Structure 1
């Protein structure tokens, strides 16, 4: 009976520890798990499970191991926020699978993805005809982002003001964390002078901007570091 009680206590303790670690690492870990977060979750889960029924594992050894992996994941998350190139180097970048309605077979092979698995993910988004897709992007967390062809997209009041014969445009990221994305600007023929003039009209410099995107309507969307929100809301 004593052994059963010990296993019960150790199991509850392991569960509580994992709950505290998940809380510490934040909501991002739960919503969009990337490579290092996936590895961390697997290792932490395995250690906690072993601790629950393996009495040879000492409590202090478990705490040290969990602390190391938790701290490593936490530090990596902070580095990813600070250094975008480091994030791209370690995690990679999203991959275009369908562009202009055409399937990019080479990108499918690079991601070890078959046409069947692509169709499966499209069906999960209620798209049963691949011909309806204009643009599909495989995110770094393995999820698929899809844009339907223009004639199949729902009409909004904003659409009524656009030229129906204009070619579709995709949002172009220009600034992330105060840094100009020169490659994006060059590939999409967005001049730096145009961007700077748009920012000057707002009384801002690139270093003042957290995120800037040229939208599908050609307008510039800007998010500043300081959003002037006095009491931000966070649902408890």
Structure 2
């Protein structure tokens, strides 16, 4: 097959005059999409729930194809918009009336940290990685888990954090990268250590001791300093 610059640039059997139609299609679908999103009352992208993200993906697909495919007309795409936004309004109404529908569509917040320790079984069910969890905690000036009374993973993916008061801070797992990445090899008697997987703290006898909560064998010396905001 010979190299065809026109096919590379615009596609096979498509005249350059179609570019003017692409311009018109894109302009129309852009303003239709903007109008639909304005009607739906969308929030900031970081606050989108899974349900709202599904709506945006559906609208994006419906908007994109008629922008540059000749065989896709504008009217079917606009009909898709009408159906999707109608479903959005109906489901939003139902979630406000029925708790079961709300839980199915939006999900519910999940408690990940309690009393300075990771709720290990719950955490393992989520798609959140340790790096992501610790990163969000560090962004709130947290240096070890003992500063956290509890933390919830919201349906938006954000982390809601509640702190111990200074006098109630407990020994906890340090989450600073330069410390967390190097588990203890030598154990000091009488010192509290924290499991690097669940944050369970105790006085261990050796670095190979098994954590009673998660069954792992990696420990870090627990920290006890207060949080500095």
Fold equivalence (TM over 0.5): yes
Question: Which 5+ residue runs of structure 1 have no aligned equivalent?
Answer: 154-236
Q: For residue 195 of structure 1, what is the aligned residue in structure 2?
A: none
The 5-angstrom pairing of residues 1-236 of structure 1 reads: 2-28=17-43, 30=45, 32-151=47-166
TM-fit CA distance, 1:128: 3.7
TM-fit CA distance, 1:131: 2.9
> Is the Cα contact below 8 Å between 1:119 and 1:130 reproduced in 2?
no
Task: Choose 1 or 2 for highest CA Rg.
Answer: 2
Are residues 89 and 81 of structure 1, via their aligned partners in 2, closer, same or farther at CA, if it must alter by over 3 Å?
same
TM-fit CA distance, 1:28: 4.1
Are residues 28 and 85 of structure 1, via their aligned partners in 2, closer, same or farther at CA, if it must alter by over 3 Å?
farther
Q: What is the count of residue pairs matched by the alignment?
A: 153
Provide the C-alpha distance between the structure 2 equivalents of 1:98 and 1:67, rounded to a whole number of angstroms: 42
Provide the C-alpha distance between the structure 2 equivalents of 1:71 and 1:50, rounded to a whole number of angstroms: 21
Q: Given the two structures, how large is their TM-score scaled by the length of structure 1?
A: 0.60
Higher share in helix: 1
Q: Which has the higher contact order (CA 8 A, sep 6+)?
A: 2
Are residues 134 and 3 of structure 1, via their aligned partners in 2, closer, same or farther at CA, if it must alter by over 3 Å?
same
Question: Which 5+ residue runs of structure 2 have no aligned equivalent?
Answer: 1-15, 169-229
> Is the Cα contact below 8 Å between 1:97 and 1:138 reproduced in 2?
yes
Provide the C-alpha distance between the structure 2 equivalents of 1:19 and 1:105, rounded to a whole number of angstroms: 43
- Computed over aligned residues only, the root mean square deviation of the Cα atoms, in angstroms, reads 2.0
SS at match of 2:141: coil
SS at match of 1:98: strand
